[in-house]
């Protein structure tokens, strides 16, 4: 005679609510269905059953969110699946994977960019440069493509972002493309995107857009020259702005002494400056030519830097009154104000006599420096080209560029500093032709 297993008493909903002592209780109605009462008083449904030759405990939710009747129905459905050869646990895992994949495929470009940036940011030594990486995308790409799934964006949509800026600002557009491509590469590596990278240059955008290097050359021929101050007037300007305490005045002085671009100076950070070695080191992503650049600093430039506070949270050397970077207009306005003030006191102002325009910060810091180097025959042209971080256009200059000629350029920059600010650098004005 076969003895049937004892059936558990079917608990009612009222009896279930009264269970308070921690432990595991059979609720009856479906074999293996139990409720677990935790020490905190919470009640959780468990179905204990065999799946093949393995004993499994399958969670069915908590009480009262899952009522008693619903728990019994769920338990019956699961046991039916098991009898049909289906493993409920494996099916749940598969469903979770499908859901995760579907969710991932819906990840927006904006969110993908943030995740990619979290990885890329670790490659930058300077937090400012890491911030610039994502800021570029936030300015040019995310307003157009930010909400679209990164898995579904195609090349025509990428072109719609790039074409309006490709010829206008080739260097910036090239960086935008590179950073977009990095986001799509990240999405492909994360198995979120399976289609090819729509921002890749090779075999994708190359036939559709002109090379930025050629655009730069074309733009260079047509570009309007920056008005520059005659070399003889540079010391007068430096003496004038040297009496001003404004950050824009200090930044312009430094730009002239370093023969640097406005943007390089305005974004300069203290971790780029080595006062002991007397150098300013700029990473490739800070330079127009995408090549790292080292500037030997004259005594005048070092003394200027030593007099500045270093309490800016972002580490900026020349922050404005709000603690953020100066605008390019701040330096331009300073030049115009200095010109107007000089005219008011009966001076000639600060005019480019060839262009008949007020001299610009860029022209004065770089063109005036180049003119001084040409007139001062002690310094080879290759030295001044390296100082200006110009792209090499011939084999001879390329040979020079392999060696930064740092010490040779240091002598040149020291002579330039003495010429610009003789009273501050402890020397006399260096006359043209190398005579002191």
How is 319-356 classified by DSSP, letter by letter? B-TTSSBPPHHHHHHHHHHHHHHHHHTT---SEETTTT
Confidence (pLDDT) at 99: 52
Provide CATH code, domain 109-222.
Answer: 1.10.150.130
Backbone dihedral region of 11: left (phi > 0), alpha (psi from -120 to 50 degrees) or beta?
beta
Confidence (pLDDT) at 168: 83
Helix (H) or strand (E) holding 46: strand 43-51
Query: What values do phi and psi take at 303, rounded to 5?
Result: -65, -35
Cα separation, 315 vs 216, in Å, equals: 32
Helix, strand, or coil here: 274?
strand
Which token pair is 28? 């009856």
Say if CB 240 and CB 252 are below 8 A apart. Answer: no
Cα separation, 23 vs 36, in Å, equals: 6
Kindly state the DSSP code that residue 190 receives in the 8-state scheme: T
Provide CATH code, domain 13-104.
Answer: 3.30.160.390
pTM here is 0.51
Query: Quick one: CATH architecture of 231-425?
Result: Orthogonal Bundle (1.10)
Which are the contacts of 388, defined by CB distance < 8 A and separation ≥ 6?
Answer: 259, 366, 369, 370
pLDDT by position in tens, the chain (length 436): 454 455 667 878 788 888 888 888 888 878 888 888 888 888 888 888 887 777 878 888 888 888 888 888 888 888 888 788 777 677 677 666 555 555 555 789 999 999 999 999 888 767 777 888 999 999 999 999 999 999 999 999 999 999 988 988 888 899 999 999 999 999 999 889 899 999 999 999 999 999 887 776 555 444 457 899 999 999 999 999 999 989 999 999 999 999 999 889 999 999 999 999 999 998 888 887 778 889 999 999 999 999 999 999 989 999 998 889 998 789 999 999 999 999 999 999 999 998 889 999 999 999 999 999 988 778 888 888 898 888 655 444 454 455 578 888 899 999 999 999 988 755 444 433 333 3
Domain boundaries, the chain: 13-104, 109-222, 231-425
Confidence (pLDDT) at 242: 92
Say if CB 108 and CB 149 are below 8 A apart. Answer: yes
Cα separation, 334 vs 251, in Å, equals: 10
Cα separation, 264 vs 21, in Å, equals: 71
Adjacent-strand bridge partners of 319: 325
Kindly state the DSSP code that residue 141 receives in the 8-state scheme: T
CA 378 to each of CA 36, 221, 246, 409, 416: distance values in angstroms, whole numbers, following the listed order:
90, 29, 35, 11, 12
Cα separation, 6 vs 91, in Å, equals: 31
């Amino acid at each position: 005679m076969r003895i049937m297993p004892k059936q558990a008493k079917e608990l009612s909903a009222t009896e279930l609510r009264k269970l308070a002592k921690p432990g595991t209780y059979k609720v009856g109605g479906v074999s293996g269905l139990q409720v677990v009462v935790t020490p905190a008083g919470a009640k959780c449904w468990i179905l204990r059953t065999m799946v093949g030759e393995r004993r499994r405990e399958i969670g069915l939710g908590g009480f009262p969110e899952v009522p008693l009747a619903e728990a019994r129905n769920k338990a019956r459905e699961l046991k039916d699946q098991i009898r049909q050869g289906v493993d409920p646990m494996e099916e749940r895992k598969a469903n979770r994977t499908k859901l995760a994949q579907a969710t991932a495929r819906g990840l927006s470009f904006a969110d993908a960019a943030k995740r990619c940036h979290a990885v890329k940011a670790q490659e930058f030594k300077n937090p400012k440069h890491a911030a610039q990486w994502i800021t570029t995308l936030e300015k040019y790409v995310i307003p157009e493509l930010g909400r679209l799934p990164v898995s579904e964006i195609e090349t025509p949509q990428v072109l719609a972002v790039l074409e309006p800026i490709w010829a206008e600002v080739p260097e910036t557009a090239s960086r935008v493309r590179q950073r977009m491509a990095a986001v799509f590469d990240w999405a492909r590596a994360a198995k979120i995107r399976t289609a090819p990278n729509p921002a890749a240059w090779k075999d994708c955008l190359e036939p559709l857009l002109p090379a930025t290097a050629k655009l730069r050359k074309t733009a260079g021929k047509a570009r309007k020259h920056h008005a520059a101050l005659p070399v003889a007037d540079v010391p007068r300007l430096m003496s004038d702005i040297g009496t001003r305490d404004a950050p824009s005045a200090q930044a312009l002085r430094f730009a002239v002494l370093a023969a640097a671009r406005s943007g390089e100076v305005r974004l300069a950070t203290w971790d780029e400056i080595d006062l002991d070695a007397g150098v300013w080191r700029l990473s490739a992503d800070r330079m127009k030519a995408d090549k790292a650049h080292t500037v030997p600093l004259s005594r005048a430039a070092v003394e200027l830097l030593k007099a500045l506070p270093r309490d800016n949270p972002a580490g900026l050397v020349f922050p404005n009154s709000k603690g953020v970077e100066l605008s390019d207009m701040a330096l331009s306005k300073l030049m115009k104000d200095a010109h107007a003030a000089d005219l008011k006191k009966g001076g000639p102002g600060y005019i480019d006599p060839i262009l008949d325009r007020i001299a610009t910060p860029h022209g004065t810091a770089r063109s005036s420096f180049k003119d001084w180097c040409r007139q001062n025959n002690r310094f080879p042209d290759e030295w001044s080209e390296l100082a200006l971080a110009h792209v090499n256009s011939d084999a001879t200059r390329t040979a020079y560029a392999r060696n930064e000629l740092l010490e040779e350029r240091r002598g040149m920059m020291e002579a330039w500093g003495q010429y610009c600010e003789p009273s501050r650098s402890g020397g006399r004005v260096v006359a043209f032709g190398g005579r002191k």
